[in-house]
Structure 1
């Protein structure tokens, strides 16, 4: 099964799946929703345990961007990226760094909660060698977040929302 590398958001304190505050030192992500999404669209999901924080003056040289690039370039089974929040911004820099030949290997890109980089900058048509499916999602409406928690936005629930909108694959009969 091909692999989707899943890039976490920035580190910090954010709502968990139940809406309770949680520290995410390795980067924010509702991990179960992200990996289940990868499976639903035909990939083995591999969450990188490194935050999507900028890590300096440019995301192009952030630790997560460099780590993800190295993993992709060392492994032929990696054919997709999923970036949440800060990780979504880093996917843009990964696409910039890949060669045309490397981009040909990509079949799927999912970017969630990274509105400062326009959807057009992730489109396969923007890159020589690009031919992937793009899923680009802004933050979900507050109505998808758990009620009664006093949350002001639903940013952290982007992975959960995307999963809820993605149909499960049809059951196979033996």
Structure 2
């Protein structure tokens, strides 16, 4: 079983910060470490950096444009792209970069965790899924309202019978 190494910070007896560069246990970035019977994979930041560089070339983006699109500081993008500073990165950072690179929001997180990235929905698929969800919600609300109207009609009929004896 491969597990995201960053989830085990509290288990490292040497530094408490494994997954953030090399620690005194001798673990280095990209290594797999056996931890209490589990195979634990450190985040693959080199693969994340390569994916970002490749995608920027594919889209013809400069770091400044990626920074503007993602609202992530250019220095942070450089650190991730070239894997120069080993630190934890929040999901929001990776999601913002993924979206700015026109990928599924979990794309870079999957790469970091050595998993297959999820397929990005096309705009048409996303719109159809959103419309289908909205239609389902509207149908449920309409059914509920029709049930309430039927109950009000029954109550009015009962009131009419009691008042007019019909």
Using CA pairs under 8 Å that are at least 6 residues apart, name the structure with larger relative contact order, 1 or 2. 1
Measured against the shorter chain, the TM-score band is: under 0.3
Q: Considering fraction of residues, name the structure with more helix.
A: 2
TM-score scaled by length of structure 2: 0.23
